Chains A and B, each alone.
Chain A
Amino acid sequence: MMPGWILLQRLLPRIAAWLLLAFLFLPILVVIPVSLTDREYLSLPDQSLSLQHFASLLNWRAGWLPSMITSIGIAIASSLLATALAAAFAIGAWVHAGRWPTAMRLILLSPLIVPPIIYAVGMVRLWSRFNLLDTWIGVTLVHMILSMPLAVLAIGASLANLDPRLVQAARSLGARPPIVFAKVILPNILPGVAAGAVFAFITSWDEITVTLFITSRRIVTLPRKIWTSIADSVDPALAAIAAVMLLVTIVGLLIRMLVWDGRTPNRS
């Protein structure tokens, strides 16, 4: 009716949306000024900016560096395993969409829905029976299982774009099955496999809920170290590690956006 009323109807949702976007984004940025504090406790910088808390991250005995190396090692091992398994599975299920692959797909994807605490309860029992609590292999296997869903989804998405006639052509030309899988299908879905590997790596790198229960003293991943520090103290080194992770995420995201926009300019 009145132009003012209509303007409000259009403007109000947009203002609300930007406020909510600020709610999502701004609170995370707080770790940057706090990480630069010159005090010994968690606070905004008082007199001057200081890099002392970043320096303390590099101190081996403070434990941040070892836990980062632990996390990277486990993430590399578990994501390589998960990606290889997920790629084999996705290709097999794409060629033969029978009852078994469909059922297996549901099982492989279920960690996305089933609360991780339930899986943690189960794994504590299983690993204590096999003496795999607090071991590299125990954590790597669990991370591998938890990384598979996203890898299967990413690889499955790129298979969905693959023309089945390519496989038919290769087979009618006499290519044996292993050659079809390795030399025809796999090269065509490499972007999906790479995306799956990145998702798997990040899943393992971030995993906390299950890791918390199947590790204690010997295997301290970075999330576990952060978890204990949050519970124990208000050490500004925590803000420094958070700031580092934030910057890495921003850089990774910008690279991804640039690569993505460069590859498919008409899509977003």
Chain B
Amino acid sequence: MIVVTNFRRWAIALTVPAGALAICFYVLPILQVLALSVTEPSFGLGNYIALFQNAAIGRVVRTTLVVSAMTTVLTIVFSYIVAFALVQMRPGVRRFAMFLVMLPFWISVLVRAFSWITILRRNGVLNSALGEAGLISEPLELIYNQLGVIIGMVHYMMPFAILLLYANLTDIDGRIIQAARSLGARPFTIFWRVWLPLSMPGLAITTLFIVIFSFGFLVTPAILGAGRVLMIAEYISVQISGTLRWGVATALSTSMLLVVAGLVALAMRHPAFRSAFGGSQK
């Protein structure tokens, strides 16, 4: 019995350094953000009241909601189409298709944003090609607006969503599909009545992730929006690096954190999420 506790004590000791560092350099700074939101510049809920009264912040929140919602819907629909096709592919073809998904997954978000700038700007690759083909007389405004931000964000989110959805679809028992087919169901019926219901847990968890990522995204909206499509993360960044309005920045950060926590808590009530999040507790 003494040997057991000794071994356990060693095990717990191993978890302490990582835990302690995470508390000091992750949890505490974030708690400080929460604290500052009600103490800077004076104690109270003034910063939160200001959030609701400020018209500029209202616009930023609306933009964020619209762009996040569009990004999520497009990402989920597109990614499901790709993930569904991946499951049906022959192994060799699938490996090639997987490569096409993994490359954007691993490449720097900045490189991807830069590629989109090169393609979409006024005298970019796409506008020149369309112009030379005589399809347009005026360059299309494809970037530095919501369209450009959404294109870039969908492109950023898709590999991630495809991998999550694909993992979920491969878990579906192929015999169920065979059973449906042998009972005479047509392809569309099989998809609608069998595949789609069985994909729901995967679709739900992927949607949650994409919503949360889009909601707090800084890099792609900042580069492809160039200040003209201001989302919450970029607004916060302007507050702390430019105008030094810490009260507003921390109150917005806290609100964002609460929304994310609320979404996760809501999702955790569903058993599929619990198993996905607490998966590796042996």
Contact partner of B26 (CB less than 8 A), chosen from A25, A119, A252, is: A119
Contact B85 A17 (CB under 8 A): yes
Contact B19 A107 (CB under 8 A): yes
Contact A89 B3 (CB under 8 A): no
User: Shortest Cβ distance from A80 into chain B, in angstroms?
Assistant: 14
Residues of A237-257 whose CB lies within 8 A of B: 238-239, 242, 245-246, 249-250, 252-253, 257
Residues of B within 8 A of A96 (CB): 8, 11-12, 15
Contact B253 A24 (CB under 8 A): no
Q: Which of A98, A108, A125 has the most CB of B within 10 A?
A: A125
Interface string of B235-252 (1 = CB under 8 A from A): 011001100001001100
| Interface presence of A76 (CB below 8 A) | no
Contact B18 A104 (CB under 8 A): yes
| Interface presence of B29 (CB below 8 A) | yes
| Interface presence of B159 (CB below 8 A) | yes
Contact A24 B108 (CB under 8 A): no
| Interface presence of A10 (CB below 8 A) | yes
Residues of A116-155 whose CB lies within 8 A of B: 116-126, 141-142, 144-145, 148, 152-153
Residues of A71-106 whose CB lies within 8 A of B: 85-86, 88-89, 91-98, 100-102, 104-105
Q: How large is the interface on B (under 10, 10 to 19, 20 to 34, 35 or more residues)?
A: 35 or more
Contact A85 B21 (CB under 8 A): yes
Contact B103 A13 (CB under 8 A): no
Interface string of B88-132 (1 = CB under 8 A from A): 100100110111111110111111111111110001010010000
Main secondary structure of the interface of B (DSSP, over half): helix
Contact B114 A117 (CB under 8 A): no
Contact B104 A28 (CB under 8 A): yes
Residues of A within 8 A of B236 (CB): 117, 121
Residues of B239-282 whose CB lies within 8 A of A: 240-241, 246, 249-250, 253, 256-257, 260, 264, 280-282
Contact partner of B108 (CB less than 8 A), chosen from A20, A141, A223, is: A223
Contact A118 B33 (CB under 8 A): yes
Contact B30 A114 (CB under 8 A): yes
Residue ID in chain B nearest A138 by CB atoms: B25
Contact B103 A121 (CB under 8 A): no
How many cross-chain pairs have Cβ atoms below 8 Å apart between A and B? 261
Contacts from A to B (Cβ < 8 Å): 6, 9-10, 13-14, 16-18, 20-25, 27-28, 30-31, 34, 42-44, 85-86, 88-89, 91-98, 100-102, 104-105, 107-108, 110-111, 113-126, 141-142, 144-145, 148, 152-153, 156-157, 160, 171, 177-178, 180-181, 202, 206, 208-209, 212-213, 223, 226-227, 230-231, 238-239, 242, 245-246, 249-250, 252-253, 257, 261, 268
A-B contact list, 25 entries, CB within 8 Å: A17-B86, A20-B82, A21-B97, A23-B155, A30-B125, A31-B118, A95-B7, A96-B8, A96-B11, A104-B18, A107-B27, A108-B18, A117-B218, A117-B236, A118-B256, A119-B26, A119-B29, A122-B32, A153-B280, A171-B7, A213-B241, A238-B114, A249-B103, A257-B95, A268-B94
Contacts from B to A (Cβ < 8 Å): 3, 6-8, 10-15, 17-19, 21-23, 25-30, 32-33, 36, 78, 81-82, 84-86, 88, 91, 94-95, 97-104, 106-119, 123, 125, 128, 155, 158-159, 186-188, 212, 215-219, 223, 233, 236-237, 240-241, 246, 249-250, 253, 256-257, 260, 264, 280-282
